[in-house]
Amino acid sequence: DFSGHGGVKGGTTLGYRETRELLAAVQAVAQRDDVDPERVGIWGHDMGGYAAISAAAADGRIRAVAVDSVYDSPEAMFATELRRQGSGNLPLVRTLCRWAFRILNFSHRNDPTLAQRVPGMSSVAKLFIQGRDDAALAESTLALFLAAAEPRQQMVVPKSSYAAMTDEEKRDYQKQVVSFFLQHLPPTGEPPK
C-alpha cells in the first residue's frame, strides 16, 4: 500500500509522492535475482494507475502497465473529489481548496500531465481499463487511451470497483489483465541473470 492507504500511516498527494514510492518499489524488485530487472509490469487502479504511468514514463525497466480508472493529474482528481463531495459546487470553497492543494504540492507545479506523457511512451505496453459506472474516471481513462502511443489496448468493464464485481466479472477481469501481461511480458523460460 501507498502512504496513507490500507494500514500504512500518512497522507496522500493523490499520486505525486506515490509515484516516488512506486519507483522505489520497482528498484527493490529489480534487485531480486528471481526477477528480470529490465522487464517490469505494473497494474494500478485510480491513484495507483496514475503512479504506474508516471513511473513508467520515468523508468525504462517498466515495460507494461495496466491502469484501471486512471486520471490525468492529481489536481484533476482533487477537483473530481471536490465535486463528488459537493464542495466543488461552491465557487469560493472550490477555489480555496484547489489553491491549498497547489501550495501543498508546489514542487510538482511543472510536472507534465499523463496526457502529455503517454504520447511518447511507445516502449511501454498500456492497457486502459474503463469502468462504465464512474463517468468522470471513464472519461479520463478514455482520453488517456486515445492520447497514448501504441502499443495500447482498451478494456471496458461494467464496474470500476473490483469489490463490487460479480464472481464472473472478476474472473473475466483477471483473465484479461493476466493475458495482457503474458502477451507483453512473456516468460522467457530462463531464470534471470
Asked if the structure places residue 140 within a domain, the reply is yes
Asked if the structure places residue 11 within a domain, the reply is no
Q: pTM for the full model? A: 0.89
The sign of the CA dihedral 51, 32, 63, 183 is negative
Asked if the structure places residue 3 within a domain, the reply is no
What total of structural domains would you count in the chain? 1
Asked if the structure places residue 28 within a domain, the reply is yes
Asked if the structure places residue 5 within a domain, the reply is no
Per-residue pLDDT of the chain (193 residues; tens, 9 = 90+): 655 555 656 678 888 999 999 999 999 999 999 889 999 999 999 999 999 999 999 999 999 999 999 999 999 999 888 888 877 677 888 889 889 999 999 999 999 999 999 999 999 999 999 999 999 999 999 999 999 999 999 999 999 888 899 999 999 999 999 999 999 999 876 655 5
Task: Please report the DSSP string for 173-191 in residue order.
Answer: HHHHHHHHHHHHS---SS-
The CATH number that applies at residue 36 is 3.40.50.1820
Asked if the structure places residue 6 within a domain, the reply is no
Q: What is the CA radius of gyration of the chain?
A: 17
Asked if the structure places residue 8 within a domain, the reply is no
Residue 44 gets the label, from left (phi > 0), alpha (psi -120 to 50) or beta, of: beta
Domain extent, residue 84, equals 16-184
Asked if the structure places residue 9 within a domain, the reply is no
8-state DSSP, 114: H
